[in-house]
Every structure is written in structure tokens, then in C-alpha cells.
Structure 1
Amino acid sequence: MAETSSIVTTLKRELKAHGLTYKDVSKALNIAESSVKRLFADKDFSLKRLDQICQLMNMEISDLLQKMEQDKRLISQLTLEQESLLVSDHKLLLVAVCVANRWTYDDILDVYQFSEHELVRLLAALDKFKLIELQPNNRVKLLLSTDFSWIKNGPINRFFDAEVQSNFFNSRFTGPGEARLFVTGMLSRASNEIMIRRMERLAQEFRQFNEEDQELPLDERFGSSIMIAMRPWELTVFEAFRKDNSKRF
């Protein structure tokens, strides 16, 4: 399944690189666009279908597999030491997050208070981390794989968790582009597991949109965060009356 996911991820990126959409694929395969979306969502391609899509890009399946192997050599996670170094230098962390979101050198200079010398120094540090390749004229080639993630419960995730608790929720969530939903009730274990799987799919969809929107100009994108959480929980004042908290779930 992991190999299939890698192939589909590479296929989607190559379609985007060739300026092709699901609508173009639907015409080439002579099927509805909704069916194409379902193929990609389910990752259910026959060799014939895969070959037809590759032909649309003037590629062979072997070319696609070669691209996939190249992707595998990209970084999917930093070391614990590297994450600790990033967290200890907030400017470096900021630039790392920017380049991970496809910001250019000029984009960063326009938005943040860095001198050219300082920004080059920070980019050079990220180059040493192998997060990027700093190229002539301060162009940045990102070396992160599409499945890149911070270490679970690592330094950066702990840093972001602290920021979420102290800052993210300090809002009434009534402004443009904001929403907050809180629903409580009593679910069975089966229903709880279904909800968690759906939350994971929503998170995957968020990551997909984030990837697809990277090619847009910076002024057409804005930083967005989504917090999805679910756990056995009740108010602390209620919890205090429980005889045995271990029987909650």
C-alpha cells in the first residue's frame, strides 16, 4: 500500500507539473471527472489506466517509477538534534517553515525583517541540514519529500503544541476564514474509531490542498491551521467525582 501511495503521489505531482487537471485526465480516459477523483482518492489504478495517464504526459510508466525513486531520496524527517537546533533558533525555524511552504528568497525578504546577509546565512544553515539546496542567485530547491513530517512528540511538535495552547485558541473564531466547532456526546468504541479515521482523512485532504496550492503566487495564499482533536474527555469538575478514571474508555 505504501508503494501504491508513492506512485499516486508522484503521478499527481507530475500532472501538476505538466499543467494537467483531473478534467484533462477524465477526457483522456473517457470517464467522468468524479470517477477520476475517486480513482486518485482510492489509489485504485489498473496498469492500463496508469499507462493512459502517463501517455497524456508523454511519459512511460518506467519514467514515473524513476521519478518516484528520486522522491524517495528526499528527506521525510529530520533528526532529533536537527529539530532541537531549529527550535533553539526561532529565526531559523521561521525560514524553514517558509521554504517548506515554497516561499522564495524575495518573498521572505518582502514579508520579514531580515537583512539580505542574515537571510542568506539562515538559508545556508538549512542547506547544511539538507532541507534545501541553496542555488545561484539565492534560489531555493526544496529537498523535502511530500510525506515530510516533524518527529512525533519531538522538539518542534512540542514547540507548536505550546504555541497552540497559549495562542491559537486565543480567538473567538468569528473572523474571515475562521471557524470553531465543538461537539460532545457519548459514542461507542466503534463510532469513536470511525470518527478518528474520518478526521485523518480530513487532515490528508488539508495536506493535499496545501500541496496543490503551492504553485500559486504568495499573495493568493495565506497561512492556515486546522486543529482536529478527539479523545475521551469530560470537565475536570465532573472527573473529580469519578471512582475509577481507567474505566472511561
Structure 2
Amino acid sequence: MSTQTLIEIIKAELKSRGLSYADVARELALSESAVKRMFAPGGEMPLSRVDELCRVLQTDFAALTQRLGERRQLRRELTLAQERAVLADPKLLLTAICCLSHWSFEQIVAGYRISEAEATRYLAELDRLGIIELKPLNRYKLQVAKTFRWRPQGPVMNFFRESVMGDFFAGGFDGEGEVLSLVHGQLSHAMARELAERLERVAEDFARQHVLDQKLPDAEKRRYTMVVGMRSWLFEAFRHLQRSDLTRTASSRS
């Protein structure tokens, strides 16, 4: 286990238990800034400090190692057959999306025209497909990683392209907390990869904040959808205006 992986696991454990850096600083008799440096990328985490953090978390190093194993087993994407099965029933797809958004059984039934019997059946099907682990009283645990995504060219993403994207982009993007930006330019391969990684982290931040805000009253929340994308591409409407020598140059670089 790398030091950075260990740090990430401990950070996740702290967050799941509702412990802030200030709480850790108080328990370890350190300044909050020192704790932040310790958890920052490239920060130092000696074994003695790990032992102290385990005490704060009321766990041990073996349990942290087990968490790592659980992380590695989580699915990052489904098989084509699994995606087709999810897409075959619109209500099953909706239930899957709700589960990926951490909705409770009660929220699904209250928010959509899905009966309790249907919701129970759909949760059982998602358990069979390996997306969730169904627990008593229709509680569940996600079996997919935080970095989970639908297959880029798979059935679900094709469905969203054909049936959902137009509806999404038809909006004005002028409401509170809404934004739509279109930026075009030329970048090195290295910078393009770096920016793509940054965008993935923004998407992860969005998902993480969604989980944290689940604790807020419904009146203080509003539904948002974030679409993140970047690709090497030229507008179809302008493609016939591109000089052939530039086309060859661009092809040789890719």
C-alpha cells in the first residue's frame, strides 16, 4: 500500500465518520494547518502518526488494509450485457440512477411513480447485476467505485446521447448555479491529459458534495446535473472550410 493510497483511505474514513481536520488536530494536539499539510498530496505520514489516527478513528491498520481491498473490488463500469439489462426497463434505469445518486428507497418511491413493490423488485435486480448489495429493509450499499462511469460507447451512454442530451442542452443555463461554457483551442497532448484529469476531479467533487448535502432538508437542495466532456474535435459545420494541409498535420499529430 502506497503512502498516498493510505492517506486517501484515512481521509475517506474521517469523512464517513463526520470528523474534520479541526477534530483531528484537537485529538492529536496539532495545529489544523499541520494536519492539512499531512493530508495534502505528497504529505508525510509516519507510521507513528498512522497509529494515532487509527486511535482517533477507533480502528486499526488491518481494518484500513481491508478497506483498500474493498475499494479494489468495486466496479468502475458494467459489462455490455449488464448495461443492456439496465436499459431494458426505463424504471430499472431510473432506479439505478437514483441509487448511484444515493437516494433512499423512501425517496425513490416518493419522488417517482414507482410503487413500493416495483422499487423492491428493481433493487433486487440491481443487486443481481452487482450494482448494489441489497440489505434488510430495502437499504443498500453501492458496489461501484466513486470513479464509476457508463461505458463511453455503451448502450446507456448511447441512450443519453439520442434521448437526453438534446433536452439537457435546450436549457438556457442562466439559472442560479448554472453555467455553460464552450472553449476551443490547441493544447499539447500532456496538457490535454492533465486538464482531463482535472475535469474528472471536478466531477468527483460534485459527486462527493452531493453525498454530503444529502443531510440537508429538501427545501435547501435543488437538483443539478453536470456534464463534463473534452475531446479533439472540429465543428461539423466548419469542417468543409478546413484546409487540407491542416487536416493532414492534425492527423499526423494524433
- Please, what TM-score do these two structures have when normalized by structure 1? 0.81
* Secondary structure of the corresponding residue to residue 133 of structure 1: strand
Q: How does 1:105-124 map to 2 (within 5 A)?
A: 105-124=105-124
CA distance in 2 between partners of 1:246 and 1:206 (Å): 39
User: CA distance change for structure 1 residues 6 and 150 in 2, over 3 Å: closer, same or farther?
Assistant: farther
Cα distance in 2, alignment partners of residues 43 and 214 from structure 1:
31
Counterpart contact for 1:74–1:143, Cα < 8 Å: yes
In the alignment of these two chains, the number of paired residues is: 247
Match of 1:126? Answer: 126
SS at match of 1:134: strand
Residue 249 of structure 2 corresponds to residue 247 of structure 1: yes
Determine what percentage of the aligned residue pairs are the same residue. Answer: 36
Q: Which moves more between the two structures, 98-107 or 46-55?
A: 46-55
Distance in 2 between the 1:6 and 1:148 partners? 18
How far the C-alpha of 1:215 sits from its partner, in A, is: 5.0
After superposition, what is the alpha-carbon deviation per residue over 1:156-196, rounded to whole angstroms, capped at 9, x for unaligned?
22223334532211111001221112233444555544433
Shift of 1:55: 1.8
Answering whether residue 138 of structure 2 is matched by residue 138 of structure 1, we say yes
Shift of 1:25: 2.3
Matched, 1:179 2:179: yes
In structure 2, distance between residues paired with 1:126 and 1:89: 12
Give the AA of the match of 2:41: D
Match of 1:227 in 2: 227
Instruction: Tell me if the contact between 1:87 and 1:93 (Cα under 8 Å) persists in the aligned partners.
Output: yes
Judging changes above 3 Å, is the alpha-carbon distance between structure 1 residues 133 and 235 closer, same or farther for their aligned structure 2 residues? closer
| TM-score w.r.t. length of structure 2 | 0.80
In structure 1, the residue matched to 2:16 is 17
Task: Return 5+ residue gaps in structure 2 as ranges.
Answer: none
Using the alignment, how far apart are the partners of 2:5 and 2:161 within structure 1?
29
Q: Which residue identity lines up with residue 156 of structure 1 in the other structure?
A: V
Distance 1:185 1:25 in 2: 44
SS at match of 2:134: strand
Contact 1:107–1:218, Cα closer than 8 Å, also in 2:
no
In structure 2, do the counterparts of structure 1 residues 85 and 57 end up closer, same or farther at CA, with 3 Å as the change threshold?
Answer: same
**How many Å separate the matches in 1 of 2:8 and 2:85?**
30
Q: For residue 18 of structure 1, what is the amino acid of its counterpart? A: R
In structure 2, the CA distance between the partners of 1:236 and 1:63, relative to structure 1 (3 Å rule), is: closer
Report the AA paired with residue 21 of structure 1: S
Distance in 2, Cα, partners of 1:191 & 1:146: 24
- Matched with 1:42 is 41
Structure 2 residue aligned with 1:59: 59
CA shift for structure 1 position 137: 2.8
Q: Whose relative contact order is higher, 1 or 2, with alpha carbons under 8 Å and at least 6 apart?
A: 1
Deviation (angstroms), 1:52: 2.5
Give the counterpart letter for 2:77 in structure 1: Q
Q: What letter matches 1:230 in structure 2? A: M
Cα deviation for residue 65 of structure 1 reads 1.3
Contact kept? 1:8, 1:43, Cα under 8 Å: no
Code of the residue aligned with 1:87 in structure 2: it is L
CA contact (8 A) 2:76 2:147 kept: yes
Counterpart of 2:10, as a letter, is: L
Question: 1:106 corresponds to which letter in structure 2?
Answer: E
Q: Residue by residue, what CA displacement relative to the aligned partner does 1:142-168 show, whole Å, maximum 9, x if unpaired?
A: 333434333342222222333453221
- Between the aligned partners of 1:213 and 1:49, the Cα distance in structure 2 is 30
